[in-house]
C-alpha cells in the first residue's frame, strides 16, 4: 500500500462468518467435556496433570535432593536484535513474522493486516514487578516502536502470555486495536478499561474486517473500531478493505491468574488468515501454550519416546485442526518449558512434541517460540533448539528451512 493509504482511518467489524466452517463430529460432546461444572478442563486421555500443590511439592523435592537442574543464564544466550517493521500499511508480497521473545510474535500479512500474539513486554512475568521470573534476554523493542497493531490474540491468562501493563499500553497507544481471547477472559479486559474485545470458544471463528472510513484525517491516523453482530461493513472511502478469518482452536493446557481460579477461563490455539482481494489468503497457526501427551514419572531421565512409551495417548485436537482448518503457511509452535517431563508434559510441549504438532496441524513452515526469555522450568536455556534439530531429524523433516529457530527481534518471510 502507499503511504497515503497507510494514513487512512479504518473502521473494523467483528462478525460471525456467513459460511459454517468444518468442526469435529463430536464437537458438542467435547464442548460439554471441556466445560465441567464451574470450570474448564481438557477432555482427552492425553491430559493427566498433577495438581498445583503436587507440582510445588515435586519441584521443591527435586531442589532439596539435588535432582533439579538450575539453568545458567550467564550471557551470551539467545541473540537479541532490534526488529525492523514495515512502515504501517506498507505492502509486501510475503507473510512476515517477527519474534519478540517467549510466545510473542508480530505478524505482518500481505493484505496489510498487523497482528500481535501473546504480547508481554514487562521485565517479569508475574503479578509483581519485583518478584517472579525475570528476563534473561532483553525485550527487543517497546510497544511504542510497533507502528500498527490491528489485533492482539491471546492464548490464555498466564502471566507469561497475558500482561496487564502490556495490554493497557497497547490499548493506549493503539486505541482501535481489537483483542481476541478465549472464553471467560472478557471481564478481565473490561475491568482493565478495554472494551474492544471478543471472547471465543474452541472451533468458533469470526470475520474481522478493516474498512477505510469516510472520515479520513492525517492528524489522527488510527481508526475507531466498532464491533457489530450483523456482519455489515461500513462504506468504503479510498484505500483497501482488509479482511481476515480468525479461528479459536483447541490446545491442551490450563489457565489461572491466582491460587483459586484454576480452569475458570479457557485456553486456546488460534488461526488467522488474511489476503489482498486478488490473492490466496496467507494463514498462520498460533499454537499458544500446549502439551501433546502426558508421560509418567517412570520415564524421568529416559527417552519418553522410546518403545516403552510409544503408545501413550496423544492429544487428538491437532489432527482435527490440520484436517478441518489446515493447511497453514506458517505455524508458531512452542518448544520450551518442558522439564521435568513427568510434571510439565501434559501442559508444555518439548521439541519432539512440537514436531508432531507441526506435522499434525498441516503447517508448511514453522518458527519456534516459548523459550529464550524467562527461566520457567529446568532445561538449560539453549537446549530447546538443539533438541528441535534432533527431533526434526528423527521425524524425517528437513532440519533447516522448515521448522526453524530465529533470534529475538528477527523477522522471517514466507
Binding residues: 159, 348
The grid coordinates of residue 220 equal: 489522527
The phi and psi torsions of 65 (rounded to 5 degrees) equal -90, 0
SS3 288: coil
| Residue the block writes with cell 482481494 | 277
Please report the DSSP string for 48-109 in residue order: -PPPHHHHHHHHHHHHHHT-------PSSSS-B-------TT---SS-EEEE-STT-EEEE-
Residue 145: DSSP 8-state: G
Distances (CA, A) of 189 to 69, 162, 186, 316: 37, 10, 5, 31
172: Cβ contacts below 8 Å, ≥ 6 apart = none
| Residue the block writes with cell 500498527 | 148
Nearest by Cα to 325 from 23, 81, 6: 23
Contact 68, 378 (CB under 8 A): yes
**To the nearest 5 percent, what fractions of the chain are helix, strand and coil?**
20, 20, 60
Sign of dihedral through CA atoms 316, 319, 324, 329?
Answer: positive
Distances (CA, A) of 132 to 12, 75, 97, 156, 390: 37, 20, 29, 19, 32
Distance from C-alpha of 143 to C-alpha of 140, rounded to nearest angstrom: 10
Amino acid at each position: 500500500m502507499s503511504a497515503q493509504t497507510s494514513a487512512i482511518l479504518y473502521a473494523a467489524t467483528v462478525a460471525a462468518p456467513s459460511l459454517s466452517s468444518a468442526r469435529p463430529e463430536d464437537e458438542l460432546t467435547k464442548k460439554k467435556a471441556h466445560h465441567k461444572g464451574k470450570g474448564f478442563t481438557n477432555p482427552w486421555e492425553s491430559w493427566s496433570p498433577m495438581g498445583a500443590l503436587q507440582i510445588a511439592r515435586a519441584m521443591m523435592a527435586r531442589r532439596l535432593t539435588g535432582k533439579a537442574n538450575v539453568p545458567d543464564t550467564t550471557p551470551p544466550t539467545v541473540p537479541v536484535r532490534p526488529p525492523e517493521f514495515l512502515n504501517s500499511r506498507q505492502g509486501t508480497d510475503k507473510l512476515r513474522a517477527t519474534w519478540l521473545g517467549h510466545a510473542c510474535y508480530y505478524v505482518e500479512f500481505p493484505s496489510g493486516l498487523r497482528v500481535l500474539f501473546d504480547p508481554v513486554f514487562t521485565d517479569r512475568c508475574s503479578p509483581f514487578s519485583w518478584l517472579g521470573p525475570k528476563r534473561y534476554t532483553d525485550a527487543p523493542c517497546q510497544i511504542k516502536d510497533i507502528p500498527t497493531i490491528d489485533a492482539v490474540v491471546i492464548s490464555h491468562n498466564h502471566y507469561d502470555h497475558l500482561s496487564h501493563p502490556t495490554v493497557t499500553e497497547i490499548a493506549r497507544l493503539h486505541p482501535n486495536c481489537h483483542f481476541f481471547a478465549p472464553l471467560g477472559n472478557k471481564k478481565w479486559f473490561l475491568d482493565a478499561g478495554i472494551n474492544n474485545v471478543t471472547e471465543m470458544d474452541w472451533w468458533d471463528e469470526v470475520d474481522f474486517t478493516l474498512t477505510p472510513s469516510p472520515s479520513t484525517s492525517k492528524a489522527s491516523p488510527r481508526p475507531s473500531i466498532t464491533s457489530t453482530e450483523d456482519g455489515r461493513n461500513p462504506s468504503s472511502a479510498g484505500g483497501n478493505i482488509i479482511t481476515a478469518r480468525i479461528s479459536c482452536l483447541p490446545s491442551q493446557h490450563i489457565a489461572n491468574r491466582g491460587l483459586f481460579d484454576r480452569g475458570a477461563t479457557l485456553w486456546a490455539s488460534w488461526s488467522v488468515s488474511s489476503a489482498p482481494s486478488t490473492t490466496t489468503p496467507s494463514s498462520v497457526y498460533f499454537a499458544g501454550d500446549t502439551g501433546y501427551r502426558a508421560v509418567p514419572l517412570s520415564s524421568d531421565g529416559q527417552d519418553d519416546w522410546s518403545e516403552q512409551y510409544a503408545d501413550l495417548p496423544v492429544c487428538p485436537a491437532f489432527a482435527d485442526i490440520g484436517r478441518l482448518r489446515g493447511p497453514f503457511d506458517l505455524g508458531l509452535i512452542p518448544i520450551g518449558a518442558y522439564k521435568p517431563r513427568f510434571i510439565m508434559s501434559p501442559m508444555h510441549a518439548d521439541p519432539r512434541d512440537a514436531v508432531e504438532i507441526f506435522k499434525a496441524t498441516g503447517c508448511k513452515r514453522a518458527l519456534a517460540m516459548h523459550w529464550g526469555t524467562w527461566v520457567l522450568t529446568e532445561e538449560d536455556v539453549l537446549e530447546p533448539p538443539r533438541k528441535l534439530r534432533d527431533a526434526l531429524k528423527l521425524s524425517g523433516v528437513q532440519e533447516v528451512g522448515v521448522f526453524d529457530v530465529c533470534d529475538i527481534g528477527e523477522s522471517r518471510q514466507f
